[in-house]
């Protein structure tokens, strides 16, 4: 089989993407629990895995281009697959579909986590805005200048 190297690279990519998904799901849990320390602690690992996926992608593209050049076909997946024997075509196509599905899953979870983080930041910003607005209000309990704690009601 002439696509052994490409298939090996894709299996490596799938393995890395599984580790990435586990880390992303851990990140989701940490975000939902508002565990900022855990989210920050996980970030270097996520960055490392993203970089590993990019490097593996680059290796796969270079390998596929080399195969296309070797076979004398256009440097695209469809042309490359069309020149392979039936059994190898099925294997390569099935593996390519798995890689594509895994990539879409990783992207979906990353977008979900990004949205969760943005929502948390908007919630915090809104809360801080409300506190600042209330503290600037000259009317009401918090508008009086006293030495008492700002957020403590004297009757409580």
Q: Which of 77, 83, 79, 110 is nearest to 96 (CA)?
A: 77
- Cβ contact 109:25 at 8 Å: yes
How much is the pTM?
Answer: 0.77
> 126-144: b or e for each residue (b if 16 or more CB lie within 10 Å)?
eeeeeeeeeeeeeeeeeee
Residue 49 has pLDDT above 70, yes or no: yes
Per-residue pLDDT at 128:
77
CATH class of 4-138: mainly alpha
CB-based burial label for 59 (10 Å; 0-12, 13-18, 19+)? middle
Residue 127's pLDDT band (cuts 50, 70, 90) = confident
52-106: pLDDT as tens digits: 999 999 999 999 999 999 989 998 889 889 999 999 999 999 999 999 999 999 9
Average pLDDT over residues 125-147: 67
Q: 129-137 — which CB contacts under 8 Å span 24+ positions?
A: none
Runs of H (alpha helix) within 33-155: 36-71, 77-82, 86-136
Q: State phi, psi for 17 to the nearest 5 degrees.
A: -65, -35
In 3D space, the residue among 42, 83, 48 whose CA is nearest the CA of residue 64 turns out to be 83
CA dist 29 → 16, 38, 48, 118, 125 (Å) = 20, 10, 20, 15, 21
Calculate mean pLDDT across residues 20-34: 95
3-state secondary structure of 11: helix
pLDDT at residue 146, rounded to an integer: 55
């Amino acid at each position: 089989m002439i696509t052994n190297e490409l298939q090996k690279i894709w299996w490596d990519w799938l393995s890395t993407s599984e580790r990435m998904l586990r880390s992303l799901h851990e990140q989701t849990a940490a975000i939902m629990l508002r565990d900022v320390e855990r989210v920050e602690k996980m970030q270097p690992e996520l960055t490392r895995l993203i970089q590993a996926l990019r490097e593996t992608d680059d290796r796969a593209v270079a390998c596929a281009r080399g195969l296309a050049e070797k076979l004398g076909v256009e440097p695209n997946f469809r042309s490359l697959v069309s020149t392979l024997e039936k059994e190898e075509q099925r294997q390569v196509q099935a593996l390519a579909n798995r890689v594509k599905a895994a990539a879409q899953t990783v992207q979906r979870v990353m977008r979900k986590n990004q949205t969760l983080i943005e929502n948390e930041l908007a919630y915090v910003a809104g809360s801080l805005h409300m506190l600042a607005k209330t503290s600037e209000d000259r009317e009401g309990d918090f508008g009086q200048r006293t030495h008492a704690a700002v957020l403590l009601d004297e009757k409580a």
